[in-house]
Each structure stands twice: as C-alpha cells, then as structure tokens.
Amino acid sequence: MLLLALVVSEMMAAGLPSAAAAASPFSTKASSTPASGVPGTSFALALSVTSQSAARTLVDLEIYGPTGARVYQTWWDDQAFTAGQTRLYTITDATPATASLGTYTIRTGLFAPAWASLYSWNNAAGMITLTAASPTATLTRTATATQSSIPTAIATATVTRASVPSPSPTAMPSPTASPTSTPIASITPSPSALPTSSPTAVSGGSKQFGVNMAGADFGASRLPGTLNVDYLYTVDSSYAYFAGRGLHLVRIPFLWERVQPQPFGPLSTPDIAGLRAMLDAAQGAGQQVILDMHNYGRYYGQPLTESQAAMYADAWTRLAGAFGNHPALYGYELMNEPHDLPEGSVGWAYLAQAGTTAVRQADRTHWILAPGYGWQTAEYWVTNNPTLNVQDPAGHLLYAAHQYFDSNNTGTYALSYDADGTYANIGVDRLQPFFGWLASHNARGILTEYGVPNADARWLTVLDRVLAALNGNPQIAGGTYWAAGPWWGSYPLAVEPTAAGDKPQMAILGAYPSHP
C-alpha cells in the first residue's frame, strides 16, 4: 500500500546520498493528485522520467516524512529509454488514517540496472501535504475542465451501420456545443535497506490506459469540412483531467480526407497543425497519443481496394514523416473499423501490410496498431480475419480490437440492460476470441474502443470486469475508452467532465490507471 509505513516507519534512517553524482542524461518530476489532503486520502502519484540519450536504468521513487525519515520506497528495474523519450510511472493508494500531519517530500533516483551505480538524484521531485480535517474542508475533486468556445453550427458525424449479426461501430450521436534536481552523492544502496519484494507487481505486465479524444473525426458527411464548425482539434484542460486520474494514453481519431485532401498530394498544413497541437497538449499532461485514421476502410466514402494500396501507403508515409519525432507519439492505428470492402478480409490484410510497410519507411520506433476486419470486433476476430498476419520489420506491432456490450455489438445501447440480455461477464466473454487469437499467433494486442452508458450502474460492473481482464492479460498493451471530447453533449457513453463533476464511468476508469 502506498505510504503504508507513514506511521510506523518514520523512525527509519533517511539514507540519502551525500556527494555529487556525475552529469546525467535524466530529468525527473513527480506530482500528486490531489496535492494535499487529510490522513486517509487516496493519492495518485505520477513520476515523469526523461532521458536525453538511449539508456537502461533503475527508476527509484522514495517518500520522506515531516521528520526527514524515509517512509516509502518503490522502484522499477531495467527500464529501457530511447533518446529523448519520456516515460510515466504511476502509483495510486491511500495514506493511513493515523499518518502524521505535515509535508512529505518525493525524491527520485536514477541508477544503473540492479543498483550498480547512481546516475542522478532529485531531492525535491514533488511534495504531498497532509493536513488536519476541518468542518469546511472538502476532499471531493470537482471537474474544472474549461470548455473552449464552440460554434453553434455543428455537423452530425454519420456512420453507416451494418445490420445484425455483422459487428458494427460505435454509435456517433449528433455532437452539440458544450456550455461552455538536485544531484547528490554516488551510492550503491545496501540490499538490506531495500524492500524485500518488487513493488506494484501486476500480473498482466505494463499497461497504458486512456480515452479517445473525439472531434477531429466529426462532420464526416462534409469533407473536408470547415474547421471549428464541422470538426475540431481539441486543445483544452481535458488532457490534464484524464492524466490526473492515471489515464495516460489518448487516441485521436482524424479523417484522411482532411489531412490529405488529394490522393498522393501534400498534407494539409492547418490540419497537421491541429493534430500537432493535440499531441503538444497531451505531452504537456504527460500522455502519449495514438493517431487513428478514422475512415472505416474508405476515402471520400469509397471502399478501398488492393489497387489503391499505393495511395493509402503514401498517406501513411507522409503522416509518419510528419509525426514520427514527436515525443508524445505512442503509435499509428492504420484504420478505424474497416468493413465491407470489395475484396473482403483478404483485401484488408493486403492493405494493412501496405500501411505497415509505409510507416516503417519513415519511423521504425513507434507502435503500429493493425485493426481487424469487420469493424475490429473482438468477439468475431477469428472468423473475420482468416488471413491477417502483418509483418513488421521493426517488431513493434499491436493488433487493435474494439468491443461493445449491447446485444448487437453496435455501441448504440438502444435497449435497457435487461432488454439487451446483458450479464456482468458479457464483456469478458466477448473478448475471449481475440485473446485466444493473440495467444495462438504469439502476438500482442490492444483494445482501442469500448464504452458503456451511464444510466444503469450494472453497466459499470461490465466495464470493471473488462478492464480487469485487459489489465491481467500480458499480451494486452492497454486500452482507450470511447469517448471524451467537448462536443458530445448528453451522449451517454461520454466521460468528458462537466460542471457537475465526474461522469459515473470515471469511477471505474480511474481504478485502472496506466502503469509500467
């Protein structure tokens, strides 16, 4: 438990290094959400580590109490960094009700793997304050995300849905305007002074969880459309809001026709700038971004064929060239929910390989997310993808699935929980074909869309079990909830905060933060 030893371990020696460490390529910064509270408060700690050069390191986080004694320590050994990479480490837990009042200092160290030597030490990476409870104090965190001014004329995002039983995409409602270091001595810690077990162990390995930040994909019936009327590139305080709840992955849906209005043509300067501004905002919140071509296997409404692979590849070569060096980039999702193509799943497998090969001409570092045919639906993954076997020369590939939990897999949730015949484990059951396929192909995957309505708390149990299944599967890299963004209005799946506070789904999403 985080800060479990606040009461009993303030008697421990501080154990600080005492002489200057050599110049280090690392920088660290820690934050706590909330920054202060009474004993018993649950805190979410986020440690951001940036390396200026390629290196492997042990990341050490320690907390020192008001008396200067170390009261908590956790570490992550043998962490690999590329040059310029920033990684985020998160822990969430509660302080004991009997913890001492005062200021607790977060200190961080970067060591060679297995504590071989000290690279750098930050004696004041962050702070937490415990104060006495008072009748007027409140620990309820109210959403304060400021919505940007939204035009009154906003287009409806339209998607043609397949009839049941063919899996179909997320319901897209008519968007409506929202109301608005101090380095110190080189040491080799004594093993006896360290915890006896590695902290924050998670059976499913490292995970990145987050949300879809929708908006750039809206107004698909008007292409390319008018920026800030038909669609928008969201840059607001929402990134910090979700990051503060441990959600450090952001999927950004965009439309191909906007970023490249003409086949084989140059990228659109204002639209690329809009996407870059979203990546910048995510970077500022310590998040990473998936760039999602949200086109359903189409360009200006026309389904793609194998003969158009060069056109499709050209777009991804240009996009990877434009964004491959951005520090917030997580990866590229080659297409959203391809379906009903002239050459079916075989044609999509061919196009997915073309897109992967194209990205790797410009970027051999970041993840490529290859979606499955037939709306990406996890439940039907095996039958819909008999020939999907993407070869990535960089070996950095994830297969991306979607899954909703209503009776027809559409995500419209037109019926009630009972009328849909839903049960608590329905989501976990629907994920099993995808999990099994990944295991049989020795592959890794990610779920980039899932969501539940907010009107019935039983849907939250479904969501909770799904996230637990994702979190516990070592072949799953994480997931992104559908959806956030300022133009959703009353859309029942939306988790964008309002003046009233958090949406109900956030109680579940916040319980599954990103973690190394």
| pLDDT tens, residue by residue, 301-337 | 999 999 999 999 999 999 999 999 999 999 999 999 9
Examine residue 96 and say whether the peptide bond preceding it is cis (omega within 30 degrees of 0). Answer: no
Task: Quick: pLDDT tens for 210-263.
Answer: 999 999 999 999 999 999 999 999 999 999 999 999 999 999 999 999 999 999
Task: Quick: pLDDT tens for 150-164.
Answer: 222 223 233 332 322
Amino acid at 344: G
Contacts of 353 (CB under 8 A, 6+ apart): 390, 391
What are the Cα distances from residue 273, in Å, to 150, 225, 232, 235, 316? 19, 16, 12, 12, 17
CA angle 193, 30, 59 (to 5 degrees): 45
Provide the Cα torsion 313, 319, 323, 328; round to 10°: -80
Whether the per-residue pLDDT at 177 is higher than 60: the answer is: no
Give the pLDDT score at 451. 97
DSSP one-letter string for 395-437 = S-EEEEEE---STTSSS---S-TTTTT--TTHHHHHHHHHHHH
Whether the per-residue pLDDT at 411 is higher than 90: the answer is: yes
Whether the per-residue pLDDT at 172 is higher than 60: the answer is: no
Q: Given pLDDT bands bounded at 50, 70 and 90, which one contains residue 139?
A: very low
Burial class (CB in 10 A: 0-12, 13-18, 19+), 414: exposed
H or E element that contains 483:
strand 476-484
What are 94's strand-pairing partners? 42
What are the Cα distances from residue 141, in Å, to 35, 166, 210, 241, 497? 11, 42, 19, 11, 11
What are the Cα distances from residue 239, in Å, to 144, 146, 249, 373? 12, 11, 10, 30
Amino acid at 153: A
Give the pLDDT score at 117. 75
What are the Cα distances from residue 137, in Å, to 52, 131, 134, 432? 42, 10, 5, 46
- The dihedral through the CA atoms of 407, 409, 411, 414 has a sign that is negative
Contacts of 384 (CB under 8 A, 6+ apart): 167, 345, 372, 373, 374, 377
Average pLDDT of the segment spanning 145-149: 28
Whether the per-residue pLDDT at 175 is higher than 50: the answer is: no
Average pLDDT of the segment spanning 184-195: 26
Provide the Cα torsion 156, 159, 162, 164; round to 10°: -40
Q: What is the DSSP letter of 378?
A: G
Average pLDDT of the segment spanning 426-455: 96
| Cβ-contact 32, 44 below 8 angstroms | yes
Task: Give the pTM.
Answer: 0.64
Q: What is the DSSP letter of 25?
A: S
